[in-house]
Structure 1
Amino acid sequence: MQNHEELLEDIREDTVVNVIPEKVFSLEHTLFDLPKFGELLQNVTVPVGREAVLQCVVDNLQTYKIAWLRVDTQTILTIQNHVITKNHRMSITHAEKRAWILRIRDVKESDKGWYMCQINTDPMKSQVGYLDVVVPPDILDYPTSTDMVIREGSNVTLKCAATGSPTPTITWRREGGELIPLPNGAEAIAYNGSFLTIAKVNRLNMGAYLCIASNGIPPTVSKRVMLIVHFPPMIWIQNQLVGAALAQNISLECQSEAYPKSINYWMKNDTIIVPGERFVPETFESGYKITMRLTIYDVDISDFGAYRCVAKNSLGDTDGAIKLYHIPQTTTITTMAPTVSINTVPVFNVKYNKEQRYSSNSNSNSNNPYNYNNSPQNSNSKSQRNKGKSLDQAPSTLNNVYMGATSSLWNSQDHHSPGTSRGRDHHQHQQQQQQHQQHQQQQHLVPDHGATYRSDGKNTPLKHDAKSLTDEMDRMQDLKSSAAVHIHNILHSLIIVVYLGAWQA
């Protein structure tokens, strides 16, 4: 068996003649194993202006070397710890003996692309990663629209252009939140697109429009575009006729719309009204709308007439007319109308004059079971009282018998003979007498004092003047006479039935 020195000698000899024993080759291959990547190279996304960090991890590098390259340009950036590129924003660091870190400060959009970490083995080993540089949106001054002036009724297109990474989206909104007219005729709060077209612009479309660009990378940016619509003046008048009394303060108003802003003034009789102590013109502006007000203090007779409010701008002029007329002052005199109490409940009066009473008594049956009003003394005394009354005391010239639901039955018994033709004749004769009685009472204007009587003891006063009172009395008298006849007929029939019943009994 060979000793150790002899074995080493044999190895040297074999090496010289390029004959390497199998055992020695296996040992050297283990000692000099090739390097490998410890981790995958990660893709990196970074906003513009920030720092990008790319890290390459290699195990068992041994004496091999690491290099960073830009793939798209095939540019060597670093080798080991040395920066090859002249870009001063790049640097290389070695950490933990296995990580090689490429740093890019103040990243620009041009730094976006593929980067390679390479080991100079044979064959070469490498891996790549992508650096994505995102850029917040930015609105370009050109071709984005600036403030635009357009005539009412024309078509207009607003434009907005923006850059950024990813590509930004464009949204249009109105600054005040008003609706935006869309190309299809509809309206919406917002519209997406670089071009906003408005057909037949009107004054309601005038205002500030916002072009908003966003791509998910803060901050979102916007630009304000003013749309100015020109149109000639227009005037609206709410009250074209205004009345005022002398010495009163009065105001006249007109509503005007115009753009460019109009010159506004008042005229009377083709003369411009100059502001003074009694005439004070005022204007109140709200965008393109103007309220014109003329206040006249202590109105005089000469102030009445036609006034004109006038509005003018570079596109035209217009005016509106208001007429101020005189309202006469009146004196009000309050008078009290006479009042009188009128009974609203029907009361039926059967009135007898002297001849009627005697005729009634003479026709009465001597066998009257009720024996009512048969005394000639009563008739004579009432007749004497009638003779002593004047026309002024006409209500007492006739005897009034008030007939209610019960008393009418009893008061009628002494004037009828049941079961005979005399009762019917007497009834017809009495109707004629009552009509004659009514005629006399209307001729002498005799008031009916029985109207103050009511079965419930209540009176309801009503107000009448002299003429209506007379008409009311005539109407009530007619109603009383008609009702008296009707009630009298009913009572007559009842008396006959009662009397026949008593007779048969």
Structure 2
Amino acid sequence: MGRTHRVKSLLWLSLLHGFLFLIAGSGTEAPSESTAMDISSRHFRAEYLQEWQGSVDAPYFDPSTPRNITGLVGHPVRLLCRVKNLQNRTVSWVRHRDIHLLTVGRYTYTSDQRFEAQHKPRSEEWALRIRSPQRRDSGQYECQISTTPPIGHAVYLNIVEPETEISSGLELFIQAGSTINLTCTVRHTPEPPSSITWTHGEQIINFDSARGGISLVTEKGLKSTSRLLVQRARGSDAGVYTCGPNNAPPAAIRVHVLSGEHPAAMQQGCAKSSLDKAAALLCFLITLHMLRPFTDGYFGT
């Protein structure tokens, strides 16, 4: 019995020694097998389990999707959002102006038949198409995911229409013998105008006309320009000049050619022109400046 008791005591001491050795070894630089397994487990959870959980619970928008769209009046426009990890969520389009629900999934929820939901099965793209957009359709739209709370991707739509502008304004006053210099700019056209025609009154202007001294320079692009130069202006060159692109509304300007002996012609042009208050004031100030040599001579100053 005494020998058996000593064997048991030695066995317990051996187990205790081994346990203390493991505890002491856990503080050394070399990790134990259980420590390595624990690190591997944490890495697995971080790399795989959390990613898997995020794909289910956290859909998100592709940040590269454009947030500003410009469209032309009457030409279809498409607003787009790309959604990652959608899973069983739903995508909707809302118009901010009146908080109007336009689409839910692939279905359109508005009586305005110009709006249409577009989505291809198994695609990440959810689009809102507007047929024949108008200026009033400009504003902010939002693509929403049905999370709790919902998350959204805002898109600003700007609908523009073709416009033509002559940089000199509505009226131009020049002295006889100087050059009439007019620049016409055409913007927001579906494509560059194939032609830009200048007319003087009802007469089409050609650089090779019998009058001579006329040049036309046209540059086409996203913003097209046409420059008209009429050298050595005379009284017959006065009148209305019109710039007419083939795919945009025309713009017009009235040119007054003044001789040094008759500055009153400028006053008459101001009186007959349909100008706003600011333009009328400018016209009046220019008239005073033109009249100064005559008033100085009359009053002897």
Which protein is bigger by CA-based radius of gyration? 1
Q: Same fold (TM over 0.5)?
A: no
Greater relative contact order (Cα < 8 A, sep 6+): 2
TM-score normalised by structure 2 residue count: 0.44
